[in-house]
Structure 1
Amino acid sequence: MTETVELRKKPELKFILNTDEFDIVDASEPKNNGTYSYAEIKKAELNAERTDWFISTLSHIADFLMGSAVGGNFKNKANLKLKLNNRTLKIWLIDADFKKVERITELIKNKKPTHNNVLY
């Protein structure tokens, strides 16, 4: 059974989930495009957008000391990191439907063979 989940229209970002593998179509980062087996996945990690407090604090201190108006809050953008046997994919989720991404992450984790969870 194949399921296609479109996360973003422009630039296109979608996952095509098959029984034993999935396809990624990522127009903003073409190196992520391809077909991947669930057995290749070591870890699927979803990271929501969050403020980088260390950099933001340094920015505000520098702004105060120099009297400039460049200080501000810096954010780490939302991303989905897929650690595979031979590489790591980092898929940027700018303007993507985060609820759908959460669902895809769970589907991928559930389809991953349990033998990949063994710690050495």
Structure 2
Amino acid sequence: MSSVFVLRDHPELKFILDANQVKIIDLSDPTSSGSYLYSEIRSITLNEKETNWMFSIFSILLEFWTGLGNGKIYETNANLTLITDKQKIKIGLQGADLKQVNKTIEFINEKTHLDSKLITK
């Protein structure tokens, strides 16, 4: 029996977890779509949205000195990093339901027998 986790509707991002594998459907970035055996998954990490303070401060100082008016706060979007024996997959989570993301991570951790119930970075 499969479990389906819809993380985002538009563009669609969903995880289908079967007995032996996880299938990822990511319409925003088809290169991250695919099927991955639980036995090949080494880690799954949720990287939450962060402010890039170094770039933001540089942008604000540059605006102050030049008067161009384009200084702003820059942020990196949340993403999910899945590392397998063969590759590293980075999945953008812009507009995704983070509660569903956490449930998905917990379910994958149970299937792969990873030590941590929820891995965040």
TM-score of the pair, normalised by structure 2: 0.89
Answer yes or no: is the 8 Å Cα contact 1:38–1:113 preserved in 2: no
- 1:7-49 per-position Cα deviation (integer Å, ceiling 9, x unaligned): 1111111000112211001001111111111111111110111
Q: What is the distance in 2 between the residues matched to 1:54 and 1:41?
A: 33
Runs of 4+ residues over 3 Å off in structure 1: none
Query: Gaps spanning 5+ residues in structure 2: where?
Result: 115-121
1:49 corresponds to which residue?
A: 49
Query: Gaps spanning 5+ residues in structure 1: where?
Result: 115-120
Q: What is the distance in 2 between the residues matched to 1:113 and 1:83?
A: 15
Answer yes or no: is the 8 Å Cα contact 1:24–1:33 preserved in 2: yes
Aligned AA for 2:25? V
Task: Give me the CA root mean square deviation.
Answer: 1.4
Give SS of 2:68's match.
coil
Equivalences for residues 1-120 of structure 1 within 5 A = 1-113=1-113
1:117 corresponds to which residue?
A: none
Give SS of 2:62's match.
helix
How big is the shift at 1:113?
4.1
Aligned AA for 1:36? Y
How big is the shift at 1:108?
1.2
Give SS of 2:28's match.
coil
Give SS of 2:65's match.
helix
Count of residue pairs the alignment pairs up: 115
Give SS of 1:107's match.
helix
Identity %: 37
